[in-house]
Structure 1
């Protein structure tokens, strides 16, 4: 009997390997290329990605089977990158980024030079990770609007079909990255507290929470929204059906059909990098009227920045740092009004930033007794650090971020017995806030609604929001170097450990300028380093940037 079972098992494995071999032969890895799974997954020119997509499909199935059939997400997107690029990333069952150890497995599979090597590595992973191939596999996948995405999805689906027992797959089609994360999280949350695991469930959940939080303060003033000619245009249009005129949207850059339009001279990354309005917004003149405000999504709608024209003329950016300050102070107010504690201790509210956060924003938060923690660049670092607070706010300066409510905090909110109408209302608002905000990942649509809620609560326009503090002048530049790997950082990427002696010279340069600060970190995708500098005046920033650039050119040369 045992012999028969072993024989059947061996036959099943052999059949699987034959199927995988036939499929893998259709997606050979190009010679000389090296792929790397970074913060945003794999990302490069779209024509180089088909073999990566196939291998990511295999890893997604392994990951699901390893977790006893938990649903894994796969998102095909390159976010704010130019249209010719594309990418893919995996989403873990909680809606978070892929576990770091599995990032290494993804990179290993992607770089197998041949089909034979791929199959051997695949089976080694099965054995090493103790994956029971008889377990079910469940996958949810989606894509953004890039013309290259359908072909890449075909390669992904080829991996799913190669498994003889199949994988239960759900294709969300064209949708935003945050919606994919939400659906994965909600699918795996059998309690139902994360919401209904569909795009419609996502829309209805946010709309209900938004209406609760706005109360009788609506309808709000119209909001001009730059959709980056990407998938955010679809999400915005769909969401508007659920709230009607409570918040009138004025969509801009919604062309998802014209080749080359995606992220071109528009979107959150353009605004943040250029420190200017998208030309289409500037030419329309819509922000020249008093008390108007605009915001920009990026191509897959997980980043958000706001802006307005002071006196109808001067561009003013309200980036991720400004959003974090606005939101953290609002939550602090609500918690204070709720007069609640967890285990006789006040709820811990904190903000997580990276070294790119403007120094003025950090000073603003600390002066208001909001704890601030600095972590290395990358959503996974921010997300995990935010989880250490009862309510953790994290935003990168580029506009990617969210607010996390710990499970124990949510339990306390739901079970707490308020002692006054004010306390009861504040608790109701906090619960609604947890349902408005995407708890899995940064979400431009959700974050936009969050900002609008806080502005309505304060009775503010963009200018009143902006008045909280003045950003220090700053610059972010790329400096090409011979080998970026020689630049090794420490202290949450704020200091260089190597090359030896370089940090001392950077410190000497910084000390020449009032409120000076500068750091250097290697790029994750290009052979260059990224240099950030800030100081009290624009002239000082330019001088500091030049000095540090010269140092990098000297140390990073051949």
Structure 2
């Protein structure tokens, strides 16, 4: 349709005249009144749905014909935007204006005003999906709706009798394919099985699936590789396209790290901190929208490895607690909240709903249709999450649901806060047991005096933060450091007795200096100590 369809609109509008002395209003639940009064409204909603789709470059708009809990003699109609959410507020006014145009001439003028004001290219394709409830007035009203779509040349799909939530679901846009790095491990089986159920709405593209190849497991791939090297697995360099999301499992599929390439093909990592921020903020939004403010406490649990920017972002919105490294410590702390969100920076985590929180969700009575939708989404979210343990597959679905609901790309998710430049390294030592910590492993108590010397270095860096903790499994000491300015974080490429956990080996200045002190305290061989340490 390349020109304004005046003749079609006039022809169909005359078949569906507006009743006199009736004023319509599009509210939270759309239009609702006696079914006998709604013929013209349904026709005009069809026109508006087509315009809305054209305005959004052909994305699918949903139209639900229902009056929900109203008596059978009533009926109604509401529009659903492409992410499966309620119609944008500004278009509710347009719907009201269009429905109240008294004559066909007035109606045509309002349509033209909408096109001009919204800068709609009417040559674009319009896609609309329709459903209705079981009311006897439904078929006739859907026929009027289809006349409106026909007048605008829209591509319509009538799904017949469906529940309102199903219509919202069907209207939701299909997610772009997600590249899944299975780390050549058992996660491939889970991803393959899940794909059979979700590929129609979330196409999964498994990579690194050499489960029977010796030496392949976690080799230059997987969540730990992506987190520590902060770059793409080499096997995905020629696979991932700018703007496309990808995620990595680890060998046993309990860790999850996301990443994407920007329009300059630059790598961006979305680690456990980013997942925690996305999930916790979304749960808080749902709870508020459902009218559950003050009914329960939502909290986030982190470790010292959490990026300082993530802690700042979350603590401005929710209670945040720092505990010792280890999932068992985070899980236990999360149980202290009504809803506890925990993710280690390495991508291992989940969300816990306490029995009292689940009871509140089951018994809460929403006061509006909007609150009911928020509540339903929150309950569905609690069913989706594997609350017994960090589960990469469950967490992946959780992330994708939230991104689809909010209409976020990887870039938009990443932009909720900016990570401080950081580095994680490990120093090979003779005896890790001489290093003891306190304050959730953020400060050293032994060797004596070392923490003070570390503090003297850290305070010289803008936004500097660093800590040292002994490994629980091997004779190494882990050093984490972050600072505000990247020139203070980047340094020379080195190879020495410090095993650097980044590729390429760009050692940040702050981490370099702290690692040097740790090296000294561990009794390292001074002959092997790099000149920069002297």
Specify the TM-score bucket, using the shorter chain as the normaliser.
0.5 to 0.7
The 2-side partners of 1:333 and 1:522 are apart by: 38
Aligned partner of 1:425 in structure 2 is 373
Among 164, 168, 176, the alignment partner of 1:221 is: 176
Please identify which structure carries the higher helix content.
Answer: 1
Measured against aligned partners, the alpha-carbon deviations of 1:372-403 in whole angstroms (never above 9, x if no partner) come to 10000000010011111111110000001101
Aligned partner of 1:359 in structure 2 is 308
The 1-side partners of 2:277 and 2:270 are apart by: 10
The 2-side partners of 1:437 and 1:228 are apart by: 22
- Structure 2 residue 349 is matched with structure 1 residue 437: no
Aligned partner of 1:347 in structure 2 is 296
Aligned partner of 1:503 in structure 2 is 451
The alignment partner of 1:544 has SS state of helix
The 1-side partners of 2:412 and 2:480 are apart by: 28
* Cα drift, residue 215 of structure 1: 5.7
* Cα drift, residue 346 of structure 1: 2.9
* Cα drift, residue 312 of structure 1: 4.0
The alignment partner of 2:423 has SS state of strand
The 1-side partners of 2:407 and 2:169 are apart by: 11
The 2-side partners of 1:443 and 1:349 are apart by: 21
TM-score, L = length of structure 2 = 0.62
Among 390, 412, 415, the alignment partner of 2:338 is: 390
- Structure 2 residue 190 is matched with structure 1 residue 235: yes
Aligned partner of 1:124 in structure 2 is none
Measured against aligned partners, the alpha-carbon deviations of 1:343-381 in whole angstroms (never above 9, x if no partner) come to xx43211110000000010111122x2111000000001
Aligned partner of 1:309 in structure 2 is 261
* Cα drift, residue 414 of structure 1: 0.6
RMSD, aligned CA: 1.7
Alignment of 1:234-383 (within 5 A): 234-284=189-239, 286-288=240-242, 291-340=243-292, 345-367=294-316, 369-383=317-331
Equivalenced residue count is 342
In our comparison, the structure showing a higher alpha carbon Rg is 2
Aligned partner of 1:492 in structure 2 is 440
TM-score, L = length of structure 1 = 0.60
Runs (4+) of structure 1 exceeding 2 A deviation are 210-216
The alignment partner of 2:325 has SS state of coil
The 2-side partners of 1:327 and 1:428 are apart by: 16
Instruction: Return closer, same or farther for 1:420/1:408 CA change in 2, 3 Å cut-off.
Output: same
* Cα drift, residue 328 of structure 1: 0.8
* Cα drift, residue 526 of structure 1: 0.9
The 2-side partners of 1:488 and 1:440 are apart by: 31
The 2-side partners of 1:211 and 1:362 are apart by: 37
Aligned partner of 2:464 in structure 1 is 516
Instruction: Return closer, same or farther for 1:439/1:215 CA change in 2, 3 Å cut-off.
Output: farther
Instruction: Return closer, same or farther for 1:531/1:265 CA change in 2, 3 Å cut-off.
Output: same
The 2-side partners of 1:483 and 1:414 are apart by: 53
Instruction: Return closer, same or farther for 1:486/1:347 CA change in 2, 3 Å cut-off.
Output: same
The alignment partner of 2:238 has SS state of helix
Alignment of 1:144-159 (within 5 A): none
Structure 2 runs not aligned, ≥5 long? 1-164, 490-507, 525-534
The 1-side partners of 2:522 and 2:486 are apart by: 26
Structure 1 runs not aligned, ≥5 long? 1-209
Aligned partner of 1:480 in structure 2 is 428
The 2-side partners of 1:212 and 1:266 are apart by: 39
The alignment partner of 1:346 has SS state of coil
Q: Is the 8 A contact 1:212 1:429 kept in 2?
A: no
* Cα drift, residue 218 of structure 1: 3.7
Aligned partner of 2:404 in structure 1 is 456
